[in-house]
A and B are shown apart, each in its own frame.
Chain A
Amino acid sequence: MRREPFEFLGTAREYFGIWIVNVLLTIVTVGIYSAWAKVRRQRYFQGSTRLAGASFDYHARPMQILIGRIIVLVILAAYNLSAYFLPQIVSGIIGIAFLFAVPWFVARGLRFRARVTSYRNVRFDFTGGYGGAFLAYLLGGMLAWGTLGLLAPIASQWMWNYTLGNLRYGDRPIQCDPRLEKLYGQFVLPAVVFFAGVVLIVGLGVIAFVAAIGTDLDVENYLPSDFAVIGIIAAIYAALLPFFLLYVLVGLLYSAGTRNVALNETIIDGRHVLASNIGRWRFAWIAISNFFATIFTIGLLRPWAAVRMARYLAGATALYSAGPLDDYLSTVKDSEGVVGSEFMDIEGFDFGF
């Protein structure tokens, strides 16, 4: 087995120019350029990712993306407005119908993304259908949330099995069967961090509350009236913020761990094996510090942050190849499904490969 590391050759300096022009032209064109911006961004990131001397490439056309975005925005606007205009029963039914349409969007979106991505002149493909997406995204999500994360590894197994296991390189299959006990192995650290964090936050909260009792804390101030509802909302926000940060940290630790497990059990064409060894704390640190660096520089460090993350992820990923990479044939000719892809993009679905 020959170890071929992934490499990310992009630089913050180079991406900064691409990024600022993207943002500027998107604003100047009231959003229309965002489709062209997306293509340039994706091409930069995929084109800067190298494996065994060759780079990835992104082939979506801006016009496709633009049409997809317009359709998705219209659907989302209509969906949100229906909640205002139609009786609750009707908008409820539409909401449920919309929920059941999500797996369809996801399946189509994943297929589009795979088909517009190539490596060495060979396109990827995605063969997952509605059922798998329903299991991975809807049922899995409900399972993870409904059990307060206890069954999250099962959801992760479905998710990785669906997104990576249905991927094809040319006409050759990719298998991804992360074992449940390994996923549960990645569950321990986040769970411990979560409970320690909750104890800490609640403890500090009690101390703060006791201290506040001493001062003139006017509870009646928050009696429900037209005038104080927002005050209550603000108080809830403030109280939930530490829990939210804890949730983000736990989520990052967990997703880094499951990525390692899933990629390490991914086999391409029955012989090439992926390997991922990202450090969970390091990954969480990069993600969180990236976020704050971006916020505190009103976005100006975003290119640096994005390149930093891409470089770290590529550096921690490798392919163990058993045999040549040059006897694959591209079979994909068309690539429809842009609406699904833009739906995932705008709704913030993310799957990192």
Chain B
Amino acid sequence: MASEPETPGAVAGRWHPPSSSRGVAASMRIDADGVVSVADAEGHLLKEVTLVSVEVSPRVGSIPRRLTFGDGAVFETDDNDGVDRALTPLRRGAGLIHNLELFRPRLAIFVVLVIALAAGIYRYAVPLLVEVAIAATPPVVPRLLSQSALVSLDQTVLSESKLDEPSRAALTEGFAGLAANTPRGAEGYKLNFRDGGSIGPNAFALPDGNLVLTDQLVTMMKDDREAVFGVLAHEIGHVEREHSLRQLYRAAGVTGLVLLIGGDIGSGAEDILVQGAALMSLSYSRHQEAEADRYSVELMHRAGRDPAALARFFEVMRDQFHDTAETDFLSTHPATPQRIEETRRYAEELSKEPAR
């Protein structure tokens, strides 16, 4: 590639015959009519065709430029500027992308744009996409999700409830009263009793409106049925706000975006981002818990029950499990003292308004 171009506008490079690794020094020029000609060092013509039939590789940095001819022959050169000069009269050249990529002060603007856009996508575009996905989800999806989840739980941790029949009947009736005050109505919900086994005192909601209440939670609250209803109202809040689907879509969306950009950030940083997204989703679920707490207060109030009942459940939890941490970044739930206080405050605020 060291030979001097013999004619003005000629680009020095190397010629490979069709599909061959053999390389000879050659020069290439493009005339005003768009005819590409390649000649060897002695000036013998190797190729002469119109530019339309030649594939010119886009310019990337200063890697060699490649002109591929229809038969598999290639002219290759390090002289990118020379190729661009030859192409300019024909309204072709290095291309927009290459010009953007040049090391210029404006790259600093791109850096700022990338940071702003990444934050913007995380803050606005992901929640928006999640809402769109939720709206587009047919009701069969949460039903399938819930059925398989309940079957799995029944096979592993949960077993049949040992709660006495009168307690069950009373809880079921009260629960129906709560559910009647939601947009989905009493038939949109079903309360399932289970022995919690290793998960102990617990209650959780499946996205199709099936709630699971463990015997241990009922026993733990002794005579305070109202507090149990407070917990159930909290779980209804998760269903009403479609929290599980939101969580699922959010995780899928963020992971998908990280995967697409993975090649550009390296596999180590990609793993960190995926793990980081998982950590962020913890704080997101804390936000969901707070939302469900407020929902419990509102629903209990609407149903004419004690809106602060949930706070009593938290107190029992606190005393049972000494859960006194003020804040906990890694926790899915807000710290207990804070939740008790917030629930009480909101209940008081609502009590000032008359029940519906």
Contacts and interface: CB of A to CB of B under 8 A. Distances in A.
B321 A228 contact: yes
20 contacts: A18-B61, A20-B101, A20-B114, A22-B264, A24-B117, A27-B114, A31-B256, A41-B263, A47-B60, A55-B63, A85-B141, A86-B144, A88-B152, A227-B336, A228-B321, A231-B328, A231-B330, A291-B266, A291-B269, A330-B20
A319 to B, nearest CB: 14
B60 A43 contact: yes
A231 B252 CA distance: 23
A47 B321 contact: no
A298 B111 CA distance: 11
Interface residues of B, number: 80
B21 A329 contact: yes
Contact of B72 (A16, A87, A305, A330): A330
A31 B321 contact: no
B45 interface: no
B328 to A, nearest CB: 7
Interface of B: 1, 14, 16, 19-23, 57-58, 60-64, 66, 72-74, 76, 97, 100-104, 107, 110-111, 113-115, 117-118, 121, 125, 141, 144-145, 148-149, 151-152, 155, 198-204, 248, 252, 256-257, 259-270, 272, 282, 317, 321-323, 325, 328, 330-333, 336
Interface string A52-76: 0111010000000000010001000
A24 B61 contact: no
B310 to A, nearest CB: 13
B261 A44 contact: no
A26 B261 contact: yes
Nearest to A29: B260
A218 interface: yes
A334 interface: no
Contacts of B101: 17-18, 20-21
Contacts of B117: 24, 27-28
A13 B282 contact: no
Contacts of B113: 24
How big is chain A's contact interface, by range?
Answer: 35 or more
Contact of A329 (B20, B261, B282): B20
Contacts of B248: 84
B153 to A, nearest CB: 11
Interface in A1-60: 9-10, 13-24, 26-28, 30-31, 34, 36-38, 40-41, 43-44, 46-48, 53-55, 57
A181 interface: no
Contacts of B259: 73, 346
Contacts of B269: 291, 294-295, 299, 302
Given A20-B107, A228-B323, A84 B261 contact: no
Contacts, number: 218
A302 B144 contact: no
Contacts of A299: 265, 269
A325 B102 CA distance: 34
Given A21-B110, A121-B74, A26 B260 contact: yes
B145 A84 contact: yes
Nearest to A34: B260
A224 B200 contact: yes
A292 B178 CA distance: 53
A31 B121 CA distance: 12
A239 interface: no
Q: What are the 3 A-B residue pairs with the smallest beta carbon separation, nearest first?
A: A47-B63, A121-B16, A17-B101
Contact of B264 (A23, A231, A330): A23
A15 B256 contact: no
Given A57-B66, A294-B268, A346 B103 contact: no
Contacts of A21: 97, 100-101, 110
Contacts of A86: 144, 148
B64 A55 contact: yes
Given A85-B141, A326-B21, A17 B103 contact: yes
Given A86-B148, A328-B20, A37 B267 contact: no
Contacts of A43: 57, 60, 63
A115 to B, nearest CB: 13
A122 interface: yes
A225 B263 contact: no
B145 A85 contact: yes
Contacts of B121: 27
